[in-house]
Amino acid sequence: MMKRVVAAFWQHETNTFNPHPTTVHRFKACGLMGGGDIARHFSGTETDWGSLFDFAERHGWELVTPLHAQAGPSGVITEDAFEELAGQLLRPLKTEPCDGVFLMLHGSMVSEAFEDCEGEIIARMRQVVGWNVPVVVSLDPHANVTFRMADMSNAIVAYRTTPHVDQVSTTLLACQLLDEMLIGGQLTKVRLIKPPLLAGLDSARTTAKDGPMPQILDLAERLTQGNPSIKHISVQAGFSYSDVFEIGPSAAITCLGDTDKYDKEGNALSQHMWLTRARRTVEFHSVEKGLAIAESLRGNGKPIIVVDYADNPGGGAAGDDVTILKALLANGTQTAVFFSLWAPEAVQACQAAGLDQDVTLQLGQAGELVVTGRVKALTRGEYLRKGPYARNTVGNLGMSALASVGGVDVVLTSIANQTEEREQFKLFGIEFEKQELVICKGMNHFRADLEPLSHALVFVDTGHSCTVNYTAIPYQHVRRPIWPLDDFR
């Protein structure tokens, strides 16, 4: 007899310090669909959905897919948007029963009404399906996992890689845990470990094999193998740019029986998080020093990437800061590419002027930088991802333009977006491999495709909403005491 499984994908990483709210229109621009449209869009892709459809076919699941909703990291979700999407998610559950639920969530979603959107989603799901139906949740490793999320779930599985290139294996593991409960009838529980940390685990980076995140993943694997009652241990580094009470790193132990039996494993995981809390595998520089380092490395035949970490839309920042661009222009920098700047009005000005025309552009917050540029490319901004991150899915920069300003080619977009891969550059006729100096707004995901092609990465911190100087961020709602805001000596 086929098992009826309700599956949904709803992801948003909310930067509560970004003043621009996230409406349902942003979800529609980035990807909002339901029912058969999801299968038509994702079947055969190397994605969460693609692997889920394959597993369901092989294991005889009848899938119900009410919602796929995704928006790039940005500001707080409006109450109207949350309620509209929640209604779409729950609607089919109210008419027919199901045997299991699989929710592909992020874990750091915040709305105007709820600090813990994922906890609210799972709780509403429980109100409909009850406690005898297994609910499995997959998460991003930058999830701020709450005790409500853990208590409401039967299993939690997060991506293990950053950049996140393991969507397929993560989804298959989550499906396997759900299938075991559907067949055997024994429901697992989740024990959550959450030390008093605002940040840690090197922001989940797995690019350095000796970093805190790979180390704790190895520890989790050993602890799992050492106790047959533990089905999985998921580790999350948290998301430091949401001002919420239950912020920070965590470990979720999916286990059998009483969750209080796993103190030994919980203490080992907590101790590792605490002892490695300040360790980073990336060095951050001021803008001036970072650009000086990059200039000194030119001429090696491969691009030098200067990473604007603090104004990265991949972390929910606005993506409109021009601090680095100002410095490039002041230095008289030549043959550089700036990717990218969120500047919808500047894009419109480029469209109005037309290709190969000069245009006056107001860039940055409140148009603080006024420059003259020549329009070199115009595009609708859609591209097919071909790199390791989210391969075969469609990305969207919105209507976009390339303008040459002095010696810098500046990509202007109408949808804020992190730098991801070469296909984005190709939209504007730019061959990434042939560039000398590239400035990108990003954190991690660009590294999957672009780092192997580059000579060096230079990270700078401009002090904006994704700064790594956490003591400079005006938190109001995080629990206290918490490191590094409080002294634990």
Residue 477 domain flag: no
Residue 487 domain flag: no
> Can you spell out the DSSP letters for 293-350?
HHHHH--SSS-EEEEE-TT-GGGT--S---HHHHHHHHHT--SEEEEEEE-HHHHHHH
Which residue type sits at 204? A
Condensed to tens digits (0 to 9), the pLDDT of residues 14-57 reads 999 999 999 999 999 888 999 999 999 999 888 999 999 999 99
Confidence of residue 453 (pLDDT cuts 50, 70, 90): very high
pLDDT at 461 over 80: yes
Span 260-287, average pLDDT: 97
Considering only 390-394, 450-454, 469-473, which range has the smallest mean pLDDT? 390-394
Residue 480 domain flag: no
Please tell me whether residues 303 and 170 are part of one structural domain: no
Residue 476 domain flag: no
Residue 441 domain flag: yes
Condensed to tens digits (0 to 9), the pLDDT of residues 103-127 reads 999 999 999 999 999 999 999 999 9
Euclidean distance between CA atoms 168 and 49, whole angstroms: 8
Span 136-165, average pLDDT: 97
Please tell me whether residues 182 and 312 are part of one structural domain: no
Please tell me whether residues 83 and 162 are part of one structural domain: yes
Euclidean distance between CA atoms 476 and 352, whole angstroms: 44
DSSP lists the bridge partners of residue 408 as 336, 405
Peptide bond into 340 cis (omega under 30): yes
- Contact (CB, 8 A) for 412 and 400: yes
Confidence of residue 158 (pLDDT cuts 50, 70, 90): very high
Please tell me whether residues 227 and 362 are part of one structural domain: no
CA distances from 49 to 3, 68, 101, 295, 457 (A): 18, 9, 14, 43, 32
Give the model's pLDDT for residue 36: 96
Question: Pick from 250, 275, 300: which residue ends a domain?
Answer: 275
Give the model's pLDDT for residue 96: 87
Please tell me whether residues 154 and 263 are part of one structural domain: yes
Confidence of residue 90 (pLDDT cuts 50, 70, 90): very high
Confidence of residue 390 (pLDDT cuts 50, 70, 90): confident
Residue 478 domain flag: no
Cβ-count burial 51-88 (b if 16+ within 10 Å, e if not): bbbbbbeebebebbbbbbbbbbbbbbbbeebbebbbeb
- The whole domain housing 117 covers 3-275
Condensed to tens digits (0 to 9), the pLDDT of residues 332-354 reads 999 999 999 999 999 999 999 99
Please tell me whether residues 251 and 383 are part of one structural domain: no
Q: For the chain, what is the domain count? A: 2
Euclidean distance between CA atoms 365 and 446, whole angstroms: 25
* Token duo for residue 147: 């005790």
Please tell me whether residues 425 and 351 are part of one structural domain: yes
Q: Which distant-in-sequence residues (6+ apart) come within 8 Å of 307 by Cβ?
A: 440, 441, 442, 443, 446, 457, 458, 459, 460
Task: Please name the residue that has the structure tokens 């401009």.
Answer: 462
Peptide bond into 484 cis (omega under 30): yes
Please tell me whether residues 227 and 368 are part of one structural domain: no
Give the model's pLDDT for residue 455: 98
DSSP state of 78: P
Span 418-431, average pLDDT: 98
Please tell me whether residues 238 and 382 are part of one structural domain: no
> Can you spell out the DSSP letters for 224-290?
HHT-TTEEEEEEE---TTS--TT-S-EEEEEESS-GGGGHHHHHHHHHHHHHTTT--SS-EE-HHHH
Please tell me whether residues 269 and 356 are part of one structural domain: no
Length of the chain (residues) = 489
Please tell me whether residues 269 and 333 are part of one structural domain: no
Euclidean distance between CA atoms 159 and 234, whole angstroms: 8
Confidence of residue 250 (pLDDT cuts 50, 70, 90): very high
Residue 489 domain flag: no
Please tell me whether residues 176 and 299 are part of one structural domain: no
Residue 404 domain flag: yes
